[in-house]
A and B are shown apart, each in its own frame.
Chain A
Amino acid sequence: AQKVTQAQTEISVVEKEDVTLDCVYETRDTTYYLFWYKQPPSGELVFLIRRNSFDEQNEISGRYSWNFQKSTSSFNFTITASQVVDSAVYFCALSERGNTGNQFYFGTGTSLTVIP
């Protein structure tokens, strides 16, 4: 089973629209971390945010916001007023302390295209 599921493979929006990227994770640990990374066409994965499992407060950073809900095991990412520069592949990731040691899992990514 997938530890991190990003069901949306590709999304296209028109510039200035809001868009939400979904991330659902699976873990039995009580202590874990969730991440979002952005991969623009240049290839480098850019770290966006890390949240620990004890902090469910939503976070806002400029046009970016994250909604962490333990009840639904989701960590969704919303871009408000999207811009062409937001076009990239976005990865959600989970870090947990499993039975065999710490593990890090990436989702398969959501490719976002913002159309001018």
Chain B
Amino acid sequence: ETGVTQTPRHLVMGMTNKKSLKCEQHLGHNAMYWYKQSAKKPLELMFVYSLEERVENNSVPSRFSPECPNSSHLFLHLHTLQPEDSALYLCASSQDTAKSGRPTDTQYFGPGTRLTVL
């Protein structure tokens, strides 16, 4: 595997379900990100992890819970979602050379998980 992979590619879930999205990067990077992309809206940065520590949480609802067990893996745990949470969820990684926890270097993206909440 190369680059950034995400599983599953498509997910349909009910509002009472619990599911997890997985992201894995094979680029040796030290920072990983979750973005939400809704139709007709700009990309929304949800979470940033640098050196496995969460450094950014842009007021994301608690029904989204990230986990970064190591620098290569990132999860997004989902529970009691709402229909408006339906979107494309993109994972990205970069080498955070500024050690600030925020991206300055090129981010490489995975293919995304298309989530539909019924």
Which of A's residues lie within 8 Å of B, judged by CB?
33, 35, 37, 42-47, 50, 91, 95, 97, 101-104, 106-109
Q: Say whether, besides A43-B88, A44-B112, A91-B43, A103 and B106 are in contact (CB < 8 Å).
A: no
Stretch of B16-24, B60-68, B77-85, B97-105 at the chain-chain interface:
B97-105
Interface contact B98-A102, CB-CB below 8 Å: yes
Interface contact A102-B112, CB-CB below 8 Å: no
- Of all A-B residue pairs in the complex, the 6 with the closest CB atoms, nearest first, are A102-B102, A45-B109, A44-B111, A43-B112, A104-B103, A106-B43
Interface contact A45-B90, CB-CB below 8 Å: yes
Q: Knowing that A44-B110, A46-B109 are A-B contacts, what are 13 other residue pairs whose CB atoms are under 8 Å apart, sorted by A's residue number?
A: A35-B106, A37-B109, A43-B90, A44-B111, A45-B92, A47-B109, A95-B104, A97-B98, A101-B100, A102-B104, A104-B102, A104-B107, A106-B43
Interface contact B107-A107, CB-CB below 8 Å: no
Q: What is the total number of residues of chain B having a CB less than 8 Å from a CB of chain A?
A: 22
Q: What chain B residues lie within 8 Å of A47 (beta carbons)?
A: 106-109
Which of B's residues lie within 8 Å of A, judged by CB?
41-43, 45, 88, 90, 92, 98, 100-112, 114
Q: What chain A residues lie within 8 Å of B109 (beta carbons)?
A: 37, 44-47
Q: What chain A residues lie within 8 Å of B103 (beta carbons)?
A: 95, 102, 104
Q: What chain A residues lie within 8 Å of B92 (beta carbons)?
A: 45
C-alpha spacing A106/B107, complex, angstroms = 12
**Nearest A residue to B33 by beta-carbon distance?**
A104
Chain A nearest CB from B16 CB (Å) reads 27
Interface contact A101-B90, CB-CB below 8 Å: no
Q: Say whether, besides A106-B43, A107-B42, A43 and B104 are in contact (CB < 8 Å).
A: no
Chain A nearest CB from B44 CB (Å) reads 9
Q: What chain A residues lie within 8 Å of B102 (beta carbons)?
A: 101-104
C-alpha spacing A107/B110, complex, angstroms = 19
Q: What chain B residues lie within 8 Å of A104 (beta carbons)?
A: 45, 102-104, 107
Interface contact A42-B111, CB-CB below 8 Å: yes
C-alpha spacing A99/B26, complex, angstroms = 32
